[in-house]
Amino acid sequence: MDNKHELATLGVRAGQLRSDFQEHSEGLFLTSSFVFDSAAQAAARFSGAEEGYVYSRFTNPTVSMFQARLAALEGAEACMATASGMSAILATAMAFLKSGDHVVCSSGVFGATVQLFGTILARFGVATTFVSAVDAAQWEAAVMPNTRMFFLETPSNPLTEISDIEALARIGRRANALLVVDNCFCTPVLQRPLELGADLVIHSATKYLDGQGRVLGGAVCGPKALVVDGVLPFLRTAGPSLSPFNAWVILKGMETLELRMLKQSEQALDLARWLEGHPSVAKVHYPGLASHPQHSLAMRQQRSGGAIVSFELKGGRDAAWKLIDATRLISITANLGDVKTTITHPATTTHGRISAEARAAAGITDGLVRVAVGLEALGDLRADLERGI
């Protein structure tokens, strides 16, 4: 299986290992350890002199297949799987940062990521400056002599702000800082950050890679020198490993990744256009709309606008809650990346614990609603929203 195949082919075929049983579907290897032919082989495996499986905290064939498939899709030399998206971010921070280092991070990242950098890593002497996702000048101005990492997520959640990966990669390179991009919203089907100059790509496989809301998982992708020499030693020792069962579920999910991403994005664009013309809607945030402030950048950087649409209702919180409560089909849950469409009110859920001022500064208004568009028929989704709008 070479990586010159197209994305759809890689999603179905890349990374498959076949055992002596010649199984057609990917095997699920539920085993914590592997046996050796001899004491000498055990010694060689442990020292790394001989390649092969040892212990599932750091080597398992099902997890290897997941890693190889995602690496192929991202165009990465290497990939290490982790127990969740957050453990992928933690592993990256632990691998490349030490006390006294400084991080520049987009303020539009996932809430737990803000907590991780702003609170937990701060206790270990790593300082983080949060800057605008869309203003490269702020990134440049935030650089200090000890800056070692730039961290961003594009499109951002829930406002779908687009960061210019190429521009920030140039600034990061001059500063000698690694550019780490959380590619959860787009997946490699819509955006390949390594080709745009990012050093590492993070995934929450919990979202679109699984695509069916079943298991948690995560990954770090990039060059061998960073992933194998940098991230693997931390994972091997600290142990936030992806379970083989979860790897297998996600691996099977990735077979339909391209189909799902293209269809869900297409439905999101249709829904965004409809919402934009609706009299009760004040504003729609969707990168695929010409009205989006970074529309042309998004269309350069991404294959489509993605499957997340946020919009502001004129009636504020009451109107937002009324719309959410009137749905009968769409699930009221903060998760995303599922084939089942979900709806959430960011101001009182994901962003409910931050101060009203900080929320206003971040643009999370009381009338804002986020929809993660799934695979149900578009007419049914529109009817479900129409009921309470």
Ligand X SMILES: *Cc1c(COP(=O)(O)O)cnc(C)c1O
Inter-axis angle of helices 378-386 and 257-276, nearest 10? 40
Q: Which two tokens stand for residue 28?
A: 């699920």
Q: Which of 163, 206, 341, 344 binds ligand X (CB under 6 A)?
A: 206
d(CA 115, CA 105): 12
Residue 103 contacts residue 126 (beta carbons within 8 Å): yes
Window contacting ligand X (CB under 6 A); options: 12-20, 48-56, 67-75, 202-210 = 202-210
d(CA 303, CA 230): 31
Q: Which of 116, 168, 216, 289 binds ligand X (CB under 6 A)?
A: 216
Using the minimum distance from each CB to ligand X, give the nearer residue, 80 or 184: 184
d(CA 345, CA 309): 12
Using the minimum distance from each CB to ligand X, give the nearer residue, 244 or 384: 244
Please tell me whether residue 351 binds ligand X under the rule CB under 6 A.
Answer: no
How many other CB atoms are there within 10 angstroms of residue 241's CB atom? 22
d(CA 354, CA 362): 10
Using the minimum distance from each CB to ligand X, give the nearer residue, 45 or 69: 69
Q: Which two tokens stand for residue 230?
A: 């940098």
Q: Which of 7, 70, 79, 86 binds ligand X (CB under 6 A)?
A: 86
Half-sphere CA count of 113, side-chain side, radius 13 A: 30
CB of 82: closest distance to ligand X in angstroms?
Answer: 9
Window contacting ligand X (CB under 6 A); options: 70-78, 82-90, 142-150, 346-354 = 82-90
d(CA 180, CA 151): 5
Using the minimum distance from each CB to ligand X, give the nearer residue, 114 or 324: 114
Residue 344 contacts residue 334 (beta carbons within 8 Å): yes
Q: Which of 204, 246, 294, 302 binds ligand X (CB under 6 A)?
A: 204
Q: Which of 26, 161, 182, 210 binds ligand X (CB under 6 A)?
A: 182
Q: Which of 61, 108, 158, 218 binds ligand X (CB under 6 A)?
A: 218
CB of 117: closest distance to ligand X in angstroms?
Answer: 12
Please tell me whether residue 181 binds ligand X under the rule CB under 6 A.
Answer: no
CB of 207: closest distance to ligand X in angstroms?
Answer: 6
Window contacting ligand X (CB under 6 A); options: 36-44, 93-101, 200-208, 300-308 = 200-208
d(CA 134, CA 46): 46
Q: Which two tokens stand for residue 260?
A: 């799902």
Residue 371 contacts residue 310 (beta carbons within 8 Å): yes
Please tell me whether residue 153 binds ligand X under the rule CB under 6 A.
Answer: yes
Q: Which helix (H) or strand (E) holds 262?
A: helix 257-276
Window contacting ligand X (CB under 6 A); options: 8-16, 78-86, 93-101, 248-256 = 78-86
Interface residues toward ligand X, by CB under 6 A: 84-86, 110, 112, 153, 157, 182, 184, 204, 206-207, 216, 218
